Structure formats: C-alpha cells, structure tokens
Amino acid sequence: MILVLSLVLALVPLAGVVWMFASGMISIAPPSATVDGLFMSLILLTVSGCFLLNSYWEARDKGLLSFAQKKKATLVPASPAPVAKTASATPAASPPPAAKLPAEKVSS
C-alpha cells in the first residue's frame, strides 16, 4: 500500500510541472520562465524525487527489484593444500632438541 501511495504522490508533482509548461510559466522556445515558475518547478521536482526514492526503497525491500541487483558469485571452497611429508613430520621421529637458554650473568 505504501508503495502505491508513494508512486501516486510522486506522479502528482510531475503533473504540476507539465501543467506549468502547458500554461506558459516556463517555455522552451523561446527560453523564458517566471520566477514563480522556476521555484515552483524546483519544489515540485524535489517533492517528486523524495517520493520516488521512497518507492524505490519500498520496492527493493519487498524484493520487486531483484532483477536489477548484481548476482552474487558462488564461491567454490578451495581444497586444502597438500601437506608434504618429511622425515621430521613422521610420528616416530624424535622430539626436537630443547632450546638453549641464555646464560645468567653472575654479579660479584
């Protein structure tokens, strides 16, 4: 319901802009416009833009614009890297030698 209402409220100000062109407040050839026509057209276009943005958000939230969204690429899980077996990696290998600790300084 909000989507339809937003679309209607976006089209009504656009009809007002068309009426201003038809009534002569703004003319294309020869280019001329009244101050009232310029400011009224700016206000009507701003109001229409706000309602169109609201209707876009509503349509996106309802999933009506799913065709316009980029499709997510499906990622194939990478296989784990092969583990190289060495002589020290075998279970029967001897444990690594203990780390040598630095000698303590003796003070006299």
String of DSSP letters for 7-41: HHHHHHHHHHHHHHHHHTSEETTTTEE-HHHHHHH
Q: Is the pTM value of this prediction over 0.75?
A: no
- What is the model's pLDDT at position 74? 66
- What is the model's pLDDT at position 18? 95
Identify the segments of the chain with pLDDT beneath 50. Answer: none
Alpha carbon dihedral 65, 12, 49, 52, in 10-degree steps, equals -10
- What is the model's pLDDT at position 16? 95
